[in-house]
């Protein structure tokens, strides 16, 4: 294995620093844009004179803005994201305890989406122009225009209310129970994600089916199935990895809405509730965590691209 | 030895997809026009007042007098869907226009000027793109408060990025082109070159993109309203209607189903139009 | 009896309901160990004819017709797709102009060669890999043991063409169709590849159909030459016969166009005019608008003939 190609793995993280800084800056600006006295806003109903003094000192709220940013960074590096108004614990701790459902939701959706999209795209590409292909293309067009929250409700209507197969909401306790609760939420996001994936996978597969090296493979006498499996599919998957990474932001946005719909106790629901209860520390913390997660995922996708495509030689 | 490549006519017919981009675009446009018509003539088409409450007839299923049923306040769902078209159409269109204008301006200037300003803009774009779209919008709306106005402001602040990137890459290519050099040699000022010569050519991609962006904006707007941060009751908007109907899903499925269908069909209108236009432009190039 | 007998091979395109004939009743024989040069301008149908031979057409709107295409006694036109797949690679191989795009970039070279070996010779993975290394050695790639695990992009241009030949050779075909194998290579590498093809013919008795527009390549390597124009075969015969004493005015024109033949003239010679569009063919002989010796019959009937298809052939060999 040629490890030299992975040299960039060491060089990329420093390049990501400016983006991470930018994320912290934007978050900082957002929270400081709250109208009114920031100290009072952060403390809410607990604004005793003592608490106000303390928080002003901790965040340097009497200092010029740029100095406040340094206080913010300092606190950030200490792992201090502030305290949640609603839950009265450290925002960071709150996020960490609630991250599991969100992770399960994201990973489950991606896996399910791949399970749905790959066969559909294959079917569409291999039957281009015929009824299977046209049907699938109609599905993708409709799917792209379907609001995830509505799709989730329709699935609940059918599978929970009518047929009673799955629970309507919540998370569950044991692993099996959790899996049972997560089927509908993951399916909802997976269906929406599949619409995007199928479209692009199908296009890459169609391009690959016309590719010169595929003609050469056919000229060697390989069957269409073997040609597809060995030459078309691998070459179509590489752009798909990139596609998934590009759509991770959209995916996370979707999980926020779906968590609300299915009352899943993840960080998406934390964010929404935080907005309604003016729990700014939580909102700030969740926003930053999600942004950093997006950056990390994109980085991992770059690594995966190098792993999958021997031509790529990032330096 | 002279030879001319035989433009074998059969090659031109090897297209993937619906054979006629124009047909697709026509379908999309008709759907959009239908909704536009419904929205425009809502006061005359809608059978009932969308916010008139009448608890006597609450939670009735679809029947002749109320084809889409009534909600828990006794309001007619069909009328609310028709009036809701006004809000959702407005949402989709205005939510695209502001990012389009801001993004195009910033992207064009950045691409044309280049240098440090351009690098700075690219960095800003990278950072904004690092945030999941909805998350950033929700965070902004948390500060601005709920409502349509906040939604538009938040969209403008977050959505300009895609347009900026698109235009910038086009301008980067076009500014080295022959006709740009010709314009420069004729002594035209930078502003004139950028806005009168380069930009019109660069806009094609953005316009096609904006049509499919309208779908995303519509879905985002509906999602934000669904979460309770968008349009406030009692105004009829499809996203809020779905949220209102959720509580009654076991007993009155029609309350959240029909508004959702409206969203889907309007989104399809934009989608088909975008697809059709892209295909037609693709055929021409 | 010849190894390959092609009789009236046609390739027809269906364009918006109308039929356009891209290759019109081409017939020729190929003996074992013979190298046939298939010559013509771009669009003359030479590549399409060979794709038709392999029944490997790029679009479903194209179809192959013919009286017979007999390879080692078996009529390929009678085979169903499964039967044809056994022929492709194993009996009838093909190499292409651009090795970079015709090799799978994500698969190691050894694996691509072994694929064909496993398919056509039923070898195990291990045996196929050893055989692949041997094939790489045969095509002149140095250090085959190491290079068998390389990816295509790790080879230089000439090596990549050799690798592509190795991939085709692994299947042990009887006839190899070489579609402009040297056009994309620089001159020194061209000579090496041509020498390799000749060596393979000498060593294995491989028959080769060499598609090219370069008469120089034909002169160096081929035994016989077939000239195509606008989808039809206009002249076919022994290389020395045809090149020294061309009977078809088009062939004569092609030879004249060669820079070597223009020595003594200030300008390079050309053939005036353009090849016709295949859906707007002239009446009679397709070359008549450009032919310097066009006669009365030429605008009336299509000329037929085995050695030469012309109503007024230039003087035959004395």
Contact criterion met (CB < 8 Å) for A19 and B130: yes
Question: Peptide bond before B234: cis, by omega within 30 degrees of 0?
Answer: yes
Both structure tokens of A105: 């939701």
Phi, psi of C4 (to 5 degrees): -120, 125
8 Å CB contact between C5 and C33: no
Gap between the Cα atoms of C163 and C184, Å rounded? 15
Cα C188 to its chain centre, rounded Å, is 22
Contacts 24+ apart (CB under 8 A), B74-78: B75/B48, B75/B50, B75/B51, B76/B46, B76/B47, B76/B48, B76/B50, B77/B241, B77/B254, B77/B255, B77/B258, B77/B259, B78/B46, B78/B47, B78/B48, B78/B258
User: For residue B41, how far is the Cα from the chain centroid?
Assistant: 22
Going edge to edge, which strands form the sheet with C207-212?
C92-95, C175-179, C207-212, C35-39, C224-229, C232-238
Question: Token pair for residue A107?
Answer: 């990973």
Could you give the CA distance from residue A44 to residue A38 in angstroms, rounded to a whole number? 10
Q: CA-CA distance, C137 to C143, in Å (whole number)?
A: 8
* Distance (Å) from the alpha carbon of B12 to chain C's nearest alpha carbon: 10
Q: Backbone dihedral region of C271: left (phi > 0), alpha (psi from -120 to 50 degrees) or beta? A: beta
Distance CA A31, CA A283 (A): 9
Given a contact cutoff of 8 angstroms between Cβ atoms, the answer to whether B260 and A153 are in contact is: yes
Residue C50 has pLDDT above 80, yes or no: yes
**CB contact (8 A) between residue B8 and residue C22:** yes
Chain A residues near residue C88 by CB distance under 8 angstroms? 218-221
Q: Is the pLDDT of residue B14 over 50?
A: no
Cβ–Cβ below 8 Å for A144 and B143 = no
By DSSP bridging, strand C232-238 and strand C68-71 are unpaired
CB A27 within 8 A of CB A287: yes
Minimum mean pLDDT among A13-22, A272-281, B1-10, C101-110: which range?
A: B1-10
Given an 8 Å threshold on Cβ–Cβ distance, is A157 in contact with B249? yes
Give the strand pairing for C35-39 and C224-229.
parallel
In 3D, which of C255, C225, C238, C228 has the Cα closest to residue C309?
A: C228
Q: Closest approach of chain C CAs to the CA of A202, in angstroms?
A: 18
Residues of C within 8 A of A310 (CB-CB) are 105-106, 151, 153
Per-residue pLDDT band at B216 (split at 50, 70, 90): very high
Neighboring chain B residues of A147 at a CB cutoff of 8 Å? 219, 222-223, 226, 239, 242, 260, 263-264, 267
Which of the four pLDDT bands, split at 50, 70 and 90, describes residue C26? very high
Q: Pull the structure tokens for residue B268.
A: 């399809």
Task: Provide mean pLDDT across the span A177-187.
Answer: 89
What span, in angstroms and rounded, lies between the C-alpha atoms of C36 and A33?
80
Give the per-residue pLDDT at B285: 52
Q: What CATH number should be reported for the domain whose range is B21-44+66-281?
A: 1.10.3720.10
Share of chain B above pLDDT 90, in %: 37
What is the spatial distance between Cα A225 and Cα A236, in angstroms, rounded to a whole number? 15
What is the percent of chain A with per-residue pLDDT over 90, rounded to a whole number? 34
3-state secondary structure B227-265: HCCCCCCCCCCHHHHHHHHHCCCCCCCHHHHHHHHHHHH
3-state SS class at A24:
helix
Measured CA angle at B100 (ends B132, A26), to 5 deg: 35
Distances (CA, A) of A91 to A30, A50, A72, A275: 17, 21, 14, 14
Average pLDDT, integer, range A308-313: 77
On average, the pLDDT of chain A sits at 85
Q: Which residues of B touch C289 (CB under 8 A)?
A: none
pLDDT of residue B12: 36
Strand ranges inside B99-247, DSSP E:
none
pLDDT at position B5: 34
Q: Which of A192, A190, A195, A204 lies closest to A125, judged by CA?
A: A204
CA B209 – CA B166 distance, rounded (Å): 9
Interface confidence (ipTM) of the complex: 0.88
Q: Which of A25, A30, A128 sits opposite B139 (nearest CB)?
A: A30
DSSP string, B77-94: HHHHHHHHHHHHHHHHHH
C237-290: pLDDT as tens digits:
999 988 888 888 888 888 888 777 656 666 677 787 888 888 788 888 888 888
What pLDDT band is residue C152 in, cutting at 50, 70 and 90? very high
Poorest-pLDDT segment among B88-102, B135-149, C139-153: B135-149
Does the pLDDT value for residue B6 go beyond 50?
Answer: no
Please tell me which residue of chain B has the smallest CA distance to C251: B1
- C13 contacts on B by Cβ (under 8 Å): 8, 10
Confidence check: pLDDT of B11 > 50: no
Rounded Cα–Cα distance for residues B93 and A219 (Å)? 52
Per DSSP (E only), the strands in chain C are 4-15, 18-30, 35-39, 62-65, 68-71, 74-75, 92-95, 175-179, 207-212, 224-229, 232-238
Task: Indicate yes or no: CB of B13 within 8 angstroms of CB of C15.
Answer: yes
User: What digits encode the pLDDT tens for the residues C164-222?
Assistant: 999 999 999 999 999 999 888 888 899 999 999 999 999 999 999 999 988 888 998 99
User: The dihedral of CA B32, B33, B34, B38: what is its sign?
Assistant: positive
User: C-alpha B237: how far from its chain's center?
Assistant: 16
Chain B contact partners (≥3 CB pairs within 8 A): A, C
3-state secondary structure C159-171: HHHHHHHHHHHCC
Predicted pLDDT at B8: 34
Containing A22, the helix (H) or strand (E) segment is helix A7-32
Whether C61 sits inside 8 A of B10 (CB atoms) is yes
For residue B192, is pLDDT > 90?
no
Residues of A in contact with C107 (CB under 8 A): 230-231, 234
CA distances from B267 to A145, A250, B69, B80, C160 (A): 5, 17, 23, 18, 49
Max avg pLDDT among A80-89, B192-201, C124-133, C240-249: C124-133
| Strand C207-212 versus strand C224-229 pairing type | unpaired
Which residue in chain B is spatially nearest to C18 when comparing CA positions?
Answer: B10
Write down the pTM of the prediction. Answer: 0.82
When pLDDT is averaged across residues C63-78 and rounded to a whole number, the result is 91
Touching subunits of A (3+ CB pairs, under 8 Å) are: B, C
Nearest to C257 among B1, B6, B10 (CB): B1
Q: How far apart are CA C184 and CA C97, in angstroms?
A: 6
**Residue C262: per-residue pLDDT:** 58
**Could you tell me which residues are beta bridge partners of residue C62?**
C13
DSSP class of residue C106 equals T
What value does the mean pLDDT take over residues B205-220?
90
Measured CA to CA in angstroms, residue A195 lies from A45, B225, B259 at distances of 46, 23, 21
For chain A, say whether B250 makes contact (Cβ under 8 Å). yes
Across the range A55-62, mean pLDDT stands at: 72
- pLDDT score of B93 more than 90: yes
What confidence score (pLDDT) does residue A55 get?
74
> What per-residue confidence (pLDDT) applies to B9?
33
The yes-or-no verdict on residue C79 having pLDDT over 80 is yes
SS3 C148: coil
**Which residues of B are less than 8 Å from A26 in CB distance?**
127-128, 131, 136
CB contact under 8 A, A213 and C164: no
Please give, rounded to a whole number of angstroms, the shortest distance from the CA of A313 to a CA of chain B: 23
**Chains with 3 or more CB pairs under 8 A to chain C:** A, B
Distance CA A240, CA B180 (A): 37
Separation in Å, CA of C229 to nearest CA in chain B: 11
| Residue pairs between chains A and C whose CB atoms are closer than 8 Å | 76
The C-alpha atoms of residue A306 and residue A9 are separated, in whole angstroms, by 10
Mean pLDDT for B31-59 is: 89
Tell which wins on pLDDT, B225 or C301: B225
- Distance (Å, whole) CA A61 – CA C227: 88
Asked if C98 lies within 8 A of A221 by C-beta distance, the reply is no
Domain ranges within chain B, ordered by starting residue: 21-44+66-281
* Band of residue A67 on the pLDDT scale cut at 50, 70, 90: confident
Q: Does B183 touch chain A (CB under 8 A)?
A: no
Asked if A154 lies within 8 A of B260 by C-beta distance, the reply is: yes
| B8/C61 Cα distance (integer angstroms) | 12
pLDDT number for residue A38: 67
pLDDT given for residue A222 in this prediction: 94
pLDDT in tens, B128-138: 988 899 999 99
At B143-186, the pLDDT tens digits run: 888 888 999 999 999 999 999 998 888 888 888 888 778 887 88
How many of the other CB atoms lie within 10 Å of CB of B239? 31
Partners of residue A309 in chain C, C-beta under 8 Å? 105-106
* pLDDT confidence tier of residue B7, bands split at 50, 70 and 90: very low
Widest Cα–Cα separation across chain C: 66
Q: Which of A1, A2, A7, A66 is nearest to A302 (CA)?
A: A7
pLDDT at C263: 62
- Is the pLDDT higher at B177 or at B7? B177
pLDDT in tens, A22-39: 888 888 888 777 777 767
Chain C residue whose CA is closest to A128: C60
**For range C80-109, the mean pLDDT:** 92
Residue predicted with more confidence, A90 or C69? C69
The per-residue pLDDT for B96 is 95
Look at C42 and B6 and tell me if their CB atoms are within 8 Å. yes
Chain A CB contacts of B126 under 8 Å are 19, 22
Is A19 in contact with B127 (Cβ distance < 8 A)?
Answer: yes
Contact C167 A223 (CB under 8 A): no
A11: pLDDT strictly greater than 80: no
């Amino acid at each position: 294995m040629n490890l030299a190609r992975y040299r960039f793995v060491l060089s990329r993280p420093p390049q990501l620093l400016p983006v991470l800084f930018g994320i912290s800056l934007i978050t900082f600006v957002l929270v400081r844009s709250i109208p009114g006295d920031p100290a009072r806003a952060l403390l809410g109903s607990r604004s005793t004179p003592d608490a106000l003094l303390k928080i002003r000192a901790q965040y340097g709220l009497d200092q010029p803005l740029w100095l406040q940013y340094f206080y913010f960074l300092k606190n950030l590096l200490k792992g201090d994201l502030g305290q949640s108004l609603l839950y009265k614990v450290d925002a960071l701790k709150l996020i960490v305890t609630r991250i599991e459902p969100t992770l399960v939701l994201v990973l489950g959706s991606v896996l399910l989406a791949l399970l749905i999209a790959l066969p559909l795209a294959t079917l569409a590409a291999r039957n281009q122009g015929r009824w299977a292909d046209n049907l699938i293309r109609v599905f993708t067009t409709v799917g792209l225009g379907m609001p995830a929250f509505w799709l989730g409700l329709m699935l609940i209507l059918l599978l929970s209310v009518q047929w009673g197969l799955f629970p309507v909401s919540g998370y569950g306790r044991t692993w099996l129970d959790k899996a049972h609760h997560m089927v509908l939420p993951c399916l909802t996001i997976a269906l929406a994600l599949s619409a995007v994936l199928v479209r692009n996978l199908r296009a890459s597969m169609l391009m690959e089916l016309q590719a010169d090296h595929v003609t050469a493979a056919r000229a060697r006498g390989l069957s269409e199935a073997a040609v597809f499996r060995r030459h078309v599919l691998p070459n179509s998957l590489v752009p798909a990895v990139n596609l998934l990474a590009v759509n991770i932001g959209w995916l996370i946005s979707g999980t926020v809405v779906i968590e609300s719909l299915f009352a899943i106790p993840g960080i998406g629901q934390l964010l929404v509730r935080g907005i309604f209860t003016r729990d700014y520390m939580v909102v700030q913390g969740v926003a930053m965590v999600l942004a950093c997660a997006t950056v990390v995922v994109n980085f991992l996708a770059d690594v995966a691209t190098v792993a999958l495509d021997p031509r790529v030689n990032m330096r | 030895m002279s030879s001319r490549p035989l433009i074998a006519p059969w090659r031109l017919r090897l297209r993937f997809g619906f054979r006629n981009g124009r047909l697709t675009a026509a379908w999309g446009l008709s759907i959009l026009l239908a909704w536009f018509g419904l929205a425009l003539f809502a006061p005359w088409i809608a059978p009932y007042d969308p916010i008139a409450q009448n608890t006597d007839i609450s939670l009735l299923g679809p029947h002749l007098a109320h084809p889409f049923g009534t909600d828990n306040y006794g309001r007619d769902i069909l009328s609310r869907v028709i009036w809701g078209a006004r809000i959702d159409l407005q949402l989709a269109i205005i939510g695209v226009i502001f990012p389009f204008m801001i993004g195009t301006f910033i992207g064009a200037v950045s691409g044309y000027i280049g240098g440090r300003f351009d690098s700075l803009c690219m960095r800003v774009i990278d950072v904004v793109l690092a945030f999941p779209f909805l998350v950033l919008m929700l965070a902004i709306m948390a500060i601005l408060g709920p409502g349509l106005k906040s939604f538009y402001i938040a969209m403008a602040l977050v959505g300009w990025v895609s347009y900026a990137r698109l235009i910038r890459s086009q301008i980067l290519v076009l500014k080295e082109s022959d006709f740009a050099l010709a314009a420069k040699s004729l002594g035209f000022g930078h502003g004139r070159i950028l806005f009168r010569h380069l930009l019109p050519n660069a806009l094609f991609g953005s316009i096609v993109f904006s049509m499919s962006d309208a779908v995303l904006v519509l879905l985002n707007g509906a999602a934000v309203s669904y979460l309770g941060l968008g349009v406030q009751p009692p105004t009829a908007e499809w996203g809020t209607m779905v949220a209102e109907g959720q509580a009654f899903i076991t007993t009155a499925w029609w309350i959240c189903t029909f508004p959702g269908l409206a969203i889907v069909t309007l989104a399809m209108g934009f989608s088909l139009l975008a697809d059709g236009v892209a295909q037609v432009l693709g055929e021409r190039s | 009896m010849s190894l390959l007998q092609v009789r009236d091979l046609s390739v027809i395109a269906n364009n918006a309901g109308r039929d356009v004939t891209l290759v019109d009743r081409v017939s020729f024989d190929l003996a074992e160990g013979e190298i046939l040069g298939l010559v013509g301008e771009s669009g003359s149908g030479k590549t399409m004819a060979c794709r038709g031979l392999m029944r490997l057409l790029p679009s479903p709107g194209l179809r192959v017709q013919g009286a017979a295409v007999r390879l080692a006694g078996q009529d390929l036109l009678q085979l169903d797709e499964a039967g044809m797949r056994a022929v492709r690679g194993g009996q009838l191989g093909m190499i292409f102009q651009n090795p970079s795009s015709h090799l799978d970039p994500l698969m190691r070279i050894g694996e691509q060669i072994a694929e064909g070996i496993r398919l056509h010779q039923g070898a195990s993975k291990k045996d196929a890999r050893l055989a692949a290394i041997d094939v790489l050695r045969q095509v002149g790639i140095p250090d085959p043991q190491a290079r068998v695990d390389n990816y295509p992009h790790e080879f230089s241009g000439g090596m990549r063409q050799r690798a592509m030949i190795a991939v085709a050779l692994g299947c042990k075909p009887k006839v190899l169709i070489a579609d402009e194998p040297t056009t994309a290579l620089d001159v020194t590498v061209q000579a090496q590849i041509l020498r390799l093809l000749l060596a393979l013919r000498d060593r294995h008795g491989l028959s080769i159909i060499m598609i090219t527009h370069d008469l120089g390549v034909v002169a160096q390597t081929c035994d016989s030459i077939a000239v195509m124009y606008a989808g039809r075969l206009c002249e076919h015969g022994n290389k020395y016969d045809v090149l020294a004493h061309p009977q078809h005015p088009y062939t004569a024109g092609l030879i004249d166009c060669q820079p070597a033949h223009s020595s003594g003239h200030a300008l390079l010679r050309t053939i005036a005019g353009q090849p016709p569009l295949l859906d707007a063919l002239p009446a009679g002989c397709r070359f008549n608008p450009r032919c310097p010796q066009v006669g009365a019959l030429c605008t009336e009937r299509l000329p037929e003939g085995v050695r030469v298809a012309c109503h007024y052939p230039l003087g035959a060999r004395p």
